[in-house]
Amino acid sequence: MTADFLNIDGLRKSFGGIHALQGVSFSLGAAGIKCIVGPNGCGKSTLFNVLTGVLAPDSGTATLEGNRISGLNAHRVSRLGVGRKFQVPGVLSDLTVMEHMEIALAARATGGKVWKTLNWRGNRAESLAMLADAGLAEYADKIASQLPHGIKQRLEILMLVARGMKLLLLDEPTAGMTATETQATIDLIRRINQTTGAAILVIEHDMTFVRNLACPLIVMMRGEVLREGTYDEVRADPQVRSAYLGDRHA
Ligand SMILES: Nc1ncnc2c1ncn2[C@@H]1O[C@H](COP(=O)(O)OP(=O)(O)OP(=O)(O)O)[C@@H](O)[C@H]1O
């Protein structure tokens, strides 16, 4: 594992008088996983927006494998291998699970060029293999609108892998899931990380998810990194407990 797969150095972003990011710095090694936690409004989404080219920072940099990604437009950041999954499912209602996978594989094969993607014949065998590996083979021919919430979310995560993304940014991937779906998502994230080597940053509020994913945590507070550490270290930190966790998680 190298320490400099993703380097975030002094990112700042303000909206008028609201200082959403006030010098955020941390790094993620190749094939690393970290969870970002923190109260509403602490800057988590703004950080993801900067890392995906939706917003340019006021100052500071983010680099992926030594290439600056902060300040590039979203298309260029995506071409460098940064993929994002939003909190709500973004599947296409009328397409089957298989068709979703084929589109994602086509996007990888064509470098994301839509006109080529539309003419690309999908790779059914590779799609099926990926679905089987993720435990989703039984849904291959189901229409997305008929899928349970948790399956839609896992399909979208798998599509990021099919697109060949090197860094997955997952924004509350288990929101609205049952405990069983949440555990299946944890298993999928771990399996993706181990088998593809994709690095993963996850924003989550669900501390049971965070504990079970068992990865290093970054606690954000008012646009800054308040603490980095393991679940147990963070949970025991008096500052984190008083500012975010409260005594429920003691
Ligand atoms: N486009 C914007 N214009 C103005 N203010 C914004 C904008 N985007 C975010 N903010 C503000 O920046 C601060 C950080 O917001 P952000 O959405 O990054 O927090 P968050 O940690 O993701 O919160 P949540 O957990 O509720 O999603 C908040 O005060 C928010 O209101």
Global ipTM: 0.97
For the cut 80, the answer to whether the pLDDT of residue 246 exceeds it is: no
* Distance from Cα 226 to the centre of ligand 1, integer Å: 17
Predicted TM-score (pTM) of the model is: 0.93
Amino acid at 56: A
* Distance from Cα 11 to the centre of ligand 1, integer Å: 15
Burial 118-146 (b: 16+ CB within 10 A, else e): eebebbeeebeebbeebebeebbebebee
For the cut 70, the answer to whether the pLDDT of residue 250 exceeds it is: no
Cα 235 to Cα 98, 131, 207, 219, 240, distances in angstroms: 41, 36, 10, 10, 7
- Name the residue of 11, 15, 210 whose CB sits within 8 Å of the most ligand 1 atoms, as the mutation to test its pocket: 15
Neighbour tally for 148: CB within 10 Å: 13
Of the candidates 19, 157, 23, 166, the one whose C-alpha atom is nearest the C-alpha of residue 100 is: 157
- 196-243 per-position pLDDT tens digit: 999 999 999 888 899 999 999 999 999 999 999 999 999 999 888 887
Please tell me if the CB atom of residue 44 comes closer than 6 angstroms to any atom of ligand 1: yes
* Distance from Cα 223 to the centre of ligand 1, integer Å: 10
Report residue 56: phi and psi, to 5°.
Answer: -90, 140
Q: What is the mean pLDDT of residues 133-144?
A: 94
Question: Can you tell me the distance from the alpha carbon of 249 to that of 237, in angstroms, rounded to the nearest whole number?
Answer: 11
- 65-87 per-position pLDDT tens digit: 999 999 999 999 999 999 999 98
For the cut 60, the answer to whether the pLDDT of residue 106 exceeds it is: yes
